[in-house]
Each structure stands twice: as C-alpha cells, then as structure tokens.
Amino acid sequence: MATLQVKNINKAFGATKALIACDLTIEAGEVHVLIGANGCGKSTLCKIISGSVQADTGDILLNNQKISITDPASAQQHDIATFYQELSLAINRSIEDNIYAANEPLIFGLFIDKKTIKKDARKIIDLFADVVGDGFSGEVAVATLREDQRQLVEIMKVIAADAKIMIFDEPTSALDRAQANRFFKIIEDLKAKGKSIIFISHRMDEIFAIGDRITVMRDGQIVSSVKISDTDQNMVIEQMVGGKTIVQTNQATKVNQSLSSDVAGHDVIGLELKNLTNKQFSNINLSVSKGEIIGLGGLHGHGQSSLLRSIYGAGEAVSGEITLEGQAYYAKSPRGAIKNGIGYISGNRRVDGIYQGRSIFENLLPIHYLKTSKWGAGQKRLNQTAQDAMAELKTLYASMNQEINNLSGGNQQKVVIARWMIDKTNILLLDDPTKGIDLAAKADLFALIRKLANAGMAIILYSSDDSELLNHATRIYVFNNGKISQELTGDQRTQFNLYQAAYEAV
Ligand SMILES: Nc1ncnc2c1ncn2[C@@H]1O[C@H](COP(=O)(O)OP(=O)(O)OP(=O)(O)O)[C@@H](O)[C@H]1O
Ligand SMILES: [Mg+2]
C-alpha cells in the first residue's frame, strides 16, 4: 500500500504558470478527487506524477521516500498507472494488445505471450461485459471504436496494470451512465484492495458519489484539500471561482444595462425551439429575438454544439419544433438552413470551416453560391463585399488569391466569418467561434457580432469561455447533461451561477 505526496511542485509553459507551489497527499485506499475550471492545472499535475511532463521544481515522495520520475517507464516502475485525458491508445492495434501494451507478459522473458494476453484481457473486458456496446471484443482494432468505447479501453489498460497508484484524468467524459456506474463499482473494489486513486471529473454528482477526499484547484494553485464529508457543492464551487465572483458579478451587471438597451425595439422572435430532442440533448425550449445575442453555457460536450448543428441541419435528426419568425421549419440539411437565412460558424475550422489548399477568395464564396445558385456572376461586386467584410475584422492577408493555409489561425477564422457577411443572414449560430484565436481578434469578432445584432440579426452563441457569455449574451441557457438546467438573465448572469448550474447534479 502506498501513500503518494507531491511537494512544492512548480511548472511553467513559457509565460503560463500551470502549477504554483502545489502540495498534495494521496493516501492508500482513498479516492482523491481533483476539481477545478478548465486550464487550472489538473492534467499537468497528473502528467508530472505519471512521468510524461517534468516539473520545474518540487519533489514526489512514495511512502515518505523521495522518488525520481523521469519518464512514463519510471512511473510504471514505481507502480503508477494513468488514464490520460487525451487517451494513450495505439488505435491500429487490437483492444487486447492495448490493454496489455504497458505490461505484456513474456514467455521465458523473451516472447510476448499472446495466449495469456487474450485470456487476461478477456477477464478485464468481462468486467464491463454488458455495457461495452456493439463491436467490442478483444481482437477488434481500437480505430473502429466509438469515443466511449475507447475510454473504456483506456480504463481497462489501467486496471490491467494493477498498479498501487491509479490516476484517472476525466475517464467518464464520454461514458454513459451505465458505463460510468459499472466503472464506479470497480473503483470501489480497487479502493477496498488499498489502491490510491486520483480521479478527475467536472461532474459534481459523481465526485460526491465516489470521492473520499477532494482537492480544489484554481489558476495553478491548490486552494483546499478536505474530506468530502466536510464540504458541499456550493463550497466547492465558491473555491473554484474564488475572487472572480465579485469581478464577474459587477461586470455582468454593468454589461446587462447596455445589453438590454441593445435589444430594445427588437421584440420579434427570430428563432424558437420547442421540446427539441435527440440523443445528445432533450426537451430544449428556448427563443432568441431579432437583435438579441443569447448564450449557451455549461461544460463542454453537454449538448450545446450538437443543438446548434441540429438547427443548422448538420446534426442528428431531432424531434420537437423549430420555428423561424413564426413559421415551422424542418432542419434537414445545411443547404436548406442557409437558404432560410441561418448561418453557422464553428471554432473547429479544420473540420467545419476551411477548404484546405484553396485561395481566400474560394474560401469566401461557398455560402453565397449555395444561397443564390449563381456561379461566376458579379465577381467584382463579390470581391468588393468580401474584402469589406475582411477589412471590418482587420484580417491580415496579402491577396485574395493567397492560399488560406498560409494565414494564421485567427486570420483563417476571420475568413470563415467574413463568408457569412456577403449575403444577409437572419439567424447566426456561433459554435465556440473563438477557439484558438487571440485576444485582439476576439475583440474584433465580438464588435462585429454586436453590430450584426444591432442590425437585427438573432444570434445564439455557445462558448466554452464563460467570460464571452457573461459579456455578450443577454440571457444564458446553461446546459447540463443535455438539458437546460437554468436560464440566467439580468444580474443572475454571474460566474458563480454559471458554475452552479453547470456542475449541479441534474
Ligand atoms: N504542453 C503545453 N504547452 C503549453 N501550455 C500548456 C501545455 N500543457 C498545458 N498547458 C497550459 O497549462 C495550463 C494548465 O493546463 P492543464 O491541461 O493542466 O489544465 P486542466 O486543469 O487539466 O484543464 P481541463 O479541465 O481543460 O482539462 C493551461 O493554461 C494550458 O493551456
Ligand atoms: Mg485536463
């Protein structure tokens, strides 16, 4: 049995201080939960313990003895096994090979014992037998699996290592409830065997269900580490938000007044959703007026992107009703959405936005052509309109014929946005549109978005950055587990309330 301690760990990535003087103790036989906002340093701390990142300063102790962890192999020698947030699977190899990748049994110390691998992997897969879903057996390549199934393989890999210290960095983010509950049963057994377990999750319900001790991190620092029975959800959220609550409350209140005056005079509903439901979200009811920017909040992956894609006709089929300015609308395809005046901008440029290897001009025109079905008409006018839109966003480029890949990420995103400015759009769906773009470009983008709203566009903004929602949305619908857990308006729009609605058990 083992007690793990980290002492005074510091880690910087360039100017980013990822960890500042972190001290933490994980006891044998405990599930020790780490919680904190995106980017607060949880994964970095785990990676230092598991040897894939080196601390700048600080010590790691095992049973009060200092140990040196220089790489993942040395962590393994010290009996530490890790579930990585971004997974560590060889996707072209089979499930059973992956489960034993780090600990392949050998015959005479030389040959990989395939038979034993098969037999032992089978035992571990059987622990999850009724929740793994279709197409899951030992011989199948990981590449063919869904995201939840890949997470299960990464979990199985840690279980197979049978280490004394097990680290799980967001192991349940893609799992359904049945899969997560099975995993929690297994964690109980591991705990009973005296394992020391670090568990990271953004889901308050599971943290309070399985944790023994909880450590809250904020901005690279550990702000508290207590027995789970000595705290509650509100205390944890307060510690996660810290001093930010006050600042954001004032900011939101201040912003609120200017936002409501923006909306005044625009009381026509642009888009309304009634009981919209599919596999990723359920019973979504919301409306956005012309001239209004509303926000979708909550943790990433709780149905917001999926909802926007469904309205745009690019997601899974939905049941329920969509109305556009009072008319029933059926979201069948992006082409239909565009023709009906709906625009969709994704922050995921590589997948959704960019025609790689094509010129800026070619990247600007697809929406116009889809809308008007006119190829080649009015090149000069189009060129001018497109250039105006790019200039408005202060896009840096040499010529319209320049290949888009040669622009910086932020400038590529501006081209994607400018394409929606060529023809009038009534509804704009923004799907985390500023991912990866710098602060100055964000400010330009939001200035433009405000201008579009003032001109009567109805805008739905999903952002993984809470400050964008607090600063720009009149109302914020907070998503939690595919449902709207709260609608925050006026001075309810604070960082604290956003956290509470996103994290509370629903
Ligand atoms: N390899 C890296 N290079 C540069 N910066 C990094 C690197 N890894 C992490 N960071 C930065 O360090 C900080 C902490 O990141 P970390 O991944 O530990 O956050 P986290 O708490 O795990 O967040 P999340 O909840 O989003 O997973 C962030 O600001 C992140 O951008
Ligand atoms: Mg992380």
Q: Taking the complete model, does pTM exceed 0.75, yes or no?
A: no
pLDDT band for 247, please (50, 70, 90 cuts): very low
Tell whether 152 and 265 lie within a shared domain.
Answer: no
Ligand nearest to the CA of 300: 1
Tell whether 396 and 306 lie within a shared domain.
Answer: yes
Q: What is the DSSP string of 108-138?
A: TTTEE-HHHHHHHHHHHHHHTGGGS-TT--T
* Nearest CA owner, ligand 1 atom 27: 38
| Radius of gyration for the alpha carbons in the chain, expressed in angstroms and rounded | 25
| CA 160 to centroid of ligand 1, rounded, Å | 28
* Residue 398 burial class via C-beta count within 10 angstroms: exposed 0-12, middle 13-18, buried 19 and up: exposed
Q: How far apart are CA 192 and CA 477, in angstroms?
A: 41
Residue 348 has pLDDT above 90, yes or no: no
436 CB neighbour count, 10 Å cutoff: 15
Residue 313 has pLDDT above 90, yes or no: yes
CB of 16 closer than 6 A to ligand 1?
yes
Backbone angles phi, psi at 40, to 5 degrees: -85, -10
Residue 452 has pLDDT above 50, yes or no: yes
Tell whether 201 and 272 lie within a shared domain.
Answer: no
Model confidence pLDDT, tens digit, residues 374-433: 655 577 777 888 888 888 888 888 889 999 988 877 788 888 888 888 887 899 999 988
362 CB-near residues (< 8 Å, 6+ apart): 355
What atom in ligand 1 is closest to the CA of residue 217? Answer: 21
Model confidence pLDDT, tens digit, residues 470-495: 999 999 999 998 999 999 999 999 98
Tell whether 218 and 248 lie within a shared domain.
Answer: no
* Nearest CA owner, ligand 1 atom 26: 38
Least confident interval from 192-201, 247-256, 298-307, 354-363: 247-256
Helix ranges (DSSP H) in 340-494: 360-364, 366-372, 379-392, 409-418, 439-454, 466-472
Angle between helical axes of 495-503 and 244-263 (0-180°, round to 10): 100
pLDDT at 109 (0 to 100) = 63
**Which of the listed ranges 256-270, 284-298, 397-411 does the model predict with the highest average pLDDT?**
284-298
Looking at every residue in the chain, the average pLDDT score rounds to 87
pLDDT at 439 (0 to 100) = 61
| CA 15 to centroid of ligand 2, rounded, Å | 19
Residue 326 has pLDDT above 80, yes or no: yes
Sheet with 427-431: strands ordered across: 342-346, 427-431, 458-462, 293-298, 475-480, 483-489
379 CB neighbour count, 10 Å cutoff: 10
Which two three-digit tokens encode residue 492?
């309810």
CB of 469 closer than 6 A to ligand 1?
no
pLDDT at 248 (0 to 100) = 37
> Of 215, 218, 216, whose CA–CA distance to 244 is shortest?
218
pLDDT at 436 (0 to 100) = 59
The residue with tokens 């037998």 is: 129
Q: How far apart are CA 392 and CA 58, in angstroms?
A: 49
Residue 253 has pLDDT above 50, yes or no: no
Q: Where a domain ends, among 241, 261, 296?
A: 241
pLDDT band for 254, please (50, 70, 90 cuts): very low
Pocket perturbation via mutation, ligand 1, pick of 6, 10, 11, 13 by most ligand atoms within 8 A of CB: 13
| CA 35 to centroid of ligand 1, rounded, Å | 14
pLDDT band for 448, please (50, 70, 90 cuts): confident
Q: Where a domain ends, among 241, 272, 289?
A: 241
> Of 78, 11, 7, whose CA–CA distance to 42 is shortest?
11
Tell whether 15 and 138 lie within a shared domain.
Answer: yes
Mean pLDDT of 219-225: 95
Tell whether 229 and 184 lie within a shared domain.
Answer: yes
Pocket perturbation via mutation, ligand 1, pick of 19, 20, 24, 43 by most ligand atoms within 8 A of CB: 43
* Nearest CA owner, ligand 1 atom 29: 39
CB of 54 closer than 6 A to ligand 1?
no
Pocket perturbation via mutation, ligand 1, pick of 44, 87, 201, 465 by most ligand atoms within 8 A of CB: 44
Ligand nearest to the CA of 216: 1
CATH code of 199's domain? 3.40.50.300
Pocket perturbation via mutation, ligand 1, pick of 16, 199, 203 by most ligand atoms within 8 A of CB: 16
CB of 310 closer than 6 A to ligand 1?
no
Tell whether 200 and 296 lie within a shared domain.
Answer: no
213 CB-near residues (< 8 Å, 6+ apart): 27, 30, 31, 32, 33, 225, 226, 227, 228
Tell whether 232 and 277 lie within a shared domain.
Answer: no
Which contacts (CB < 8 Å, 24+ apart) does range 335-339 have?
335/370, 337/311, 337/312, 337/313, 338/367, 338/370, 338/371, 339/370, 339/371
CB of 43 closer than 6 A to ligand 1?
yes
| CA 41 to centroid of ligand 1, rounded, Å | 6
Tell whether 219 and 255 lie within a shared domain.
Answer: no
Tell whether 264 and 185 lie within a shared domain.
Answer: no
What atom in ligand 1 is closest to the CA of residue 170? Answer: 27
pLDDT at 257 (0 to 100) = 42
Residue 228 has pLDDT above 50, yes or no: yes
Ligand nearest to the CA of 217: 1
Q: Where a domain ends, among 178, 212, 241?
A: 241
What atom in ligand 1 is closest to the CA of residue 46? Answer: 18
Model confidence pLDDT, tens digit, residues 104-138: 666 666 666 677 778 889 999 999 999 998 899 99
pLDDT at 216 (0 to 100) = 96
Tell whether 49 and 173 lie within a shared domain.
Answer: yes
Tell whether 451 and 493 lie within a shared domain.
Answer: yes
Model confidence pLDDT, tens digit, residues 83-111: 998 889 999 999 999 998 766 666 666 66
Mean pLDDT of 27-33: 97
Model confidence pLDDT, tens digit, residues 176-206: 778 999 999 999 999 999 999 999 988 788 8
CB of 19 closer than 6 A to ligand 1?
no
Q: How far apart are CA 459 and CA 377, in angstroms?
A: 30
* Nearest CA owner, ligand 1 atom 2: 13
Q: How far apart are CA 482 and CA 462, in angstroms?
A: 14
CB of 40 closer than 6 A to ligand 1?
yes
| CA 169 to centroid of ligand 2, rounded, Å | 7
- Based on the structure, what is the number of domains in the chain? 2
3-state helix, strand, coil in the chain (%, to 5): 40, 25, 35
The answer to whether 380 and 366 have CB atoms below 8 angstroms apart is no
pLDDT at 438 (0 to 100) = 65
What atom in ligand 1 is closest to the CA of residue 41? Answer: 18
CB of 13 closer than 6 A to ligand 1?
yes
Ligand nearest to the CA of 18: 1
CB of 302 closer than 6 A to ligand 1?
no
* Residue 226 burial class via C-beta count within 10 angstroms: exposed 0-12, middle 13-18, buried 19 and up: middle
CB of 260 closer than 6 A to ligand 1?
no
Give residue 269's domain range: 244-503
* Nearest CA owner, ligand 1 atom 6: 13
